C-alpha cells in the first residue's frame, strides 16, 4: 500500500507543479494528448475481452460482436444529437460508476465486499470525484452544460453533494473491516486531487485522474485477464492489438471535427461526446470482465 501512496503523491505533486508553471493552453494540450493516447488505448481491446469471455469463437460470432459494439457507439452519438441533456447526464452517471469501480478494483480486498457495500463505495467515490472537478471548474463546466442544454450548477448544490458523498464514502470505509485500513490513503487521495483541481484546468485535472488512476490500472487488469500475466510480452501484444482500433477512433474524431463545421469553442463538447459514445459499450465490457474474474 505504501508504494501506491507514494505513486499518488508523486503524480499529484508533479502535475500541481506543472499547473503553476504552464499556461492554460499548454495544460489543455497535455490533457488532450493523454486522453487521446493512453485514454483511447485503454478501451481499444474491448472486443478481445469479449472474445476471451465468450464461448463462441466463430468468425461470424466475432463479426456480430464487432457490429453490435459499433451500433452501441453510434446509438450513443445519436442520443447526443437528439437529446443532448439526457445523454450527457447518462454519461456522467455511467462514468461515476465506472471510475469508482476501477478505483476499488485496484484494492484486491474489495472483492470480498458484500454487493451493497461495494455499490455504495463505488458510487460515492465517483460522486466525490466529479463533484470536486465540477466545483473547482464551475464556469467551464457550466459552459459545457449550457451547450448540452442543461441548467447551470450552483456552488451551494455542489458543496452539499460533496459533503454528503464524503460522509457516505468514509462511513463505508469505517464500518467495513476490509476497507478500514484504506481510510487515510483515500482521504489523502481526494485532498491532493482537490488541490490539483483548484490549480489546473478542467482538461488537465480530468486527464490526470483518467490516465494515471483509471486507464493505466484498467490496462493492467485487462492484460492479466486476456493473456494471464502482466509481463512485457503481454503488454506488447496488448498495444499491437489495440493499434487498429485506436487509429480508427482517432481518424473518426478528426474527420468529425473537420467536416462537421464545429467552432473551436465547442471542442470540449466534441471530446466529451466522442468519449461518451465509446464509453457506453466499454463500461458494459469491463463490468462483465470483473464479474468473470471473481
Q: What is the pLDDT of residues 39-76, one digit of tens each?
A: 888 888 887 888 787 766 666 666 777 778 888 888 88
pLDDT band for position 35 (cuts 50, 70, 90): confident
The string over 135-172, giving b where at least 16 C-beta atoms fall within 10 Å of a residue's C-beta and e elsewhere, is bbbbebbbbbbebbebeebeeeebeebbeebbebbbeb
More confident residue, 127 or 289: 127
The grid coordinates listed for 199 are 490549480
The grid coordinates listed for 90 are 447518462
Q: Give CA–CA dist 183/169, Å, rounded.
A: 10
Q: Give CA–CA dist 178/158, Å, rounded.
A: 30
Average pLDDT over residues 73-95: 85
Q: Give CA–CA dist 84/273, Å, rounded.
A: 9
What number of other Cβ atoms are within 10 A of residue 232's Cβ?
8
How far is residue 213 CA from its own chain's centroid?
9
Average pLDDT over residues 118-141: 92
pLDDT band for position 177 (cuts 50, 70, 90): confident
Q: Give CA–CA dist 223/245, Å, rounded.
A: 16
Under a CB-based contact definition with an 8 Å cutoff, are residues 97 and 279 in contact? no
How confident is the model at residue 175, as a pLDDT? 82
Does residue 292 have a pLDDT over 70? Answer: yes
The grid coordinates listed for 1 are 500500500
Q: For the chain, what is the mean pLDDT?
A: 84
Amino acid at each position: 500500500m505504501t508504494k501506491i501512496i507514494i505513486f499518488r503523491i508523486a503524480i499529484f505533486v508533479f502535475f500541481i507543479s506543472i499547473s503553476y508553471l504552464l499556461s492554460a493552453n499548454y495544460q489543455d494540450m497535455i490533457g488532450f494528448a493523454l486522453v487521446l493516447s493512453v485514454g483511447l488505448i485503454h478501451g481499444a481491446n474491448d472486443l478481445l475481452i469479449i472474445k476471451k469471455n465468450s464461448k463462441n469463437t466463430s468468425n461470424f460470432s466475432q463479426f456480430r460482436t464487432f457490429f453490435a459494439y459499433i451500433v452501441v457507439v453510434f446509438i450513443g452519438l445519436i442520443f447526443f444529437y437528439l437529446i443532448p441533456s439526457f445523454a450527457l447526464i447518462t454519461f456522467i452517471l455511467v462514468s461515476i460508476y465506472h471510475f469508482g469501480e476501477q478505483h476499488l478494483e485496484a484494492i484486491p480486498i474489495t472483492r470480498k465486499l458484500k454487493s451493497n457495500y461495494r455499490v455504495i463505495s463505488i458510487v460515492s467515490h465517483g460522486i466525490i470525484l466529479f463533484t470536486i472537478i465540477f466545483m473547482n471548474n464551475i464556469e467551464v463546466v457550466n459552459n459545457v452544460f449550457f451547450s448540452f442544454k442543461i441548467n447551470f450548477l450552483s456552488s451551494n448544490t455542489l458543496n452539499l453533494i460533496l459533503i454528503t458523498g464524503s460522509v457516505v464514502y468514509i462511513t463505508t470505509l469505517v464500518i467495513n473491516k476490509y476497507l478500514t485500513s484504506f481510510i487515510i490513503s483515500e482521504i489523502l487521495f481526494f485532498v491532493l486531487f482537490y488541490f490539483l483541481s483548484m490549480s489546473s484546468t478542467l482538461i488537465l485535472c480530468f486527464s490526470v485522474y483518467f490516465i494515471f488512476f483509471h486507464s493505466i490500472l484498467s490496462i493492467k487488469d485487462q492484460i492479466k485477464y486476456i493473456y494471464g500475466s502482466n509481463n512485457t510480452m503481454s503488454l506488447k501484444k496488448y498495444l499491437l492489438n489495440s493499434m487498429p482500433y485506436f487509429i480508427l477512433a482517432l481518424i473518426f474524431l478528426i474527420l468529425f471535427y473537420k467536416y462537421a463545421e464545429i467552432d473551436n469553442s465547442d471542442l470540449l463538447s466534441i471530446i466529451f461526446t466522442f468519449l461518451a459514445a465509446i464509453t457506453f459499450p466499454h463500461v458494459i465490457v469491463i463490468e462483465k470482465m470483473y464479474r468473470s474474474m471473481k
